[in-house]
Structure 1
Amino acid sequence: MPRGDGGETGTRSMNSRVNILKAAAAVRGWLAVPGGGLVVLGMLQPCPGAVTFSGEIAKVVHRHCAPCHHEGQAAPFNLLTYEDVRKRARQVLEVVERDQMPPWLAEPGYGDFANERRLSDAEKAQLREWVEADAPEGDPNETPPIPKWPAGWLSGTPDLVVTMPQAYELGPEGPDVYRNFAIRIPLEGDRLVHAVEFAPGNPRAVHHAFVRIDEEGKARSLEGREARPGFDTMIPTARMPGGQFLTWNPGSQPVVSPPGLA
């Protein structure tokens, strides 16, 4: 979801306060004060049927945002709890409505994709309604539990782990770095591959990755020519395996073939 520190928008208009009062379905008490004023005692409860964090928004956030926005992942802040999301509600809505988040580059209307990372129109409408209603929490006892992510590999214990022989050090400043690395696969002959999972050494430093096969060995001839690991030159003969689109970006799921296929 959104990058940056974002925050609450500050003061609200008197009109928005009045609208909130009109939307209230249950108030614990009223207190009349001299001069005709009226003070509300207790918490305002949203109208039945109103969009709340506990009722609808938590499910949307946990599904589409939390995979990247939790501790140890690429996103710079968490989006897990009501407080996490409430203080960035307007920012979240803006990047979702611009289709910037969650990251998904495929245009709609050209078929369905496995693991598609796109909010539906109904989910976007719920998010907008919730933000415009001042982000009501609802009943905290009804909030779905925060998802748990397994430690280590998402697709289970792998049969083969291929790693870079030497770490690449990225400086703290400067433009984005696009770098290619030739990594040998220690296998003889062909193998059937059922699943592929990419795990960055530093999720906060790696933005995306493409996995290609160089059957002509040109990449290996370039590896080692510089003091640093890798090389900048693109290799036209290095291609993705036939029928596969092996990429990774924050929040991506492992590429797993259907049962019985590889």
Structure 2
Amino acid sequence: MQVFREKEEIKKAIQKAKSEDQSIGLVPTMGALHEGHLSLVENAMKETNQVIVSIFVNPTQFDNRDDLEKYPRTPEKDLDLLLELLKDKPGDLWVFFPSANELYGDTVLSENFDFEGLDSVMEGKYRNGHFDGVGTVVKRLFEVLTPDKAFFGEKDFQQLQIIRKLTEKTGLPVEIVGCPILREKSGLARSSRNERLSSRNREKAAFIYETLKDVKGLFGTKSAQYITNWVEERFANYPYLKLEYFEIADSRTLEKINKKRKGNQYRAFIAAYADDIRLIDNIALDN
């Protein structure tokens, strides 16, 4: 495993790999790695010759300064986990650990993107400027690392659709691969934020996925409005979590649905707080 901190150094290594007809896979992360990240790495190793894991806590996607400062940073543990993964896997990993100055230069600012409304619903409604920040860092990573494929988890499904729109808009030749949500034994979607949960809240947060599974069961016979009211009442009577939003949306456009249409695919989305820790999850309703 090789660790790179300077973009010019890793760009030279990538150029050499490509000259030898090796395909490049990228797994962008903000560190605090867990099994969910490792599953993305495993998928990337199956589909590409040389995998790069970027670890960078991106300041431009945080609308809350306190959230940025509290975001877990565990670089030594991250490298140990990646080394452990390599023990029984053929191949090599490159880890890109840039500073903000190395990646952005002197000015750490977000670009403005037209995501055609994908960014104005759900997460975008509650996190001002978040997706411009995500688009900015992903675009920069794609430009520096020139991957053939990039791997993202479906837990952040809205982000996944926005990154697909980003590549469409910019013409960057990167195939975006969505990977299934990895869950803890309780059903809680794996997330770096889970490490900040108390043991009690970590257990109680499994309620989110339990609710989503029930929503999937109801979706065949009940209207979206009925289900939304049911979820809001369910959370109102559950003292351990505070619901921020619940929506059923078209999987492609992310538009909130009023009525199901034949041939369309839908997902249910939840954001909720356990004390001050924000958790998100979603579930496909068509399979």
How does the TM-score come out when normalised to structure 1? 0.28
Query: Which is richer in helix?
Result: 2
Larger Rg: 1
The two structures have a TM-score, normalised by structure 2, of 0.27
Decide which structure has greater strand share.
2
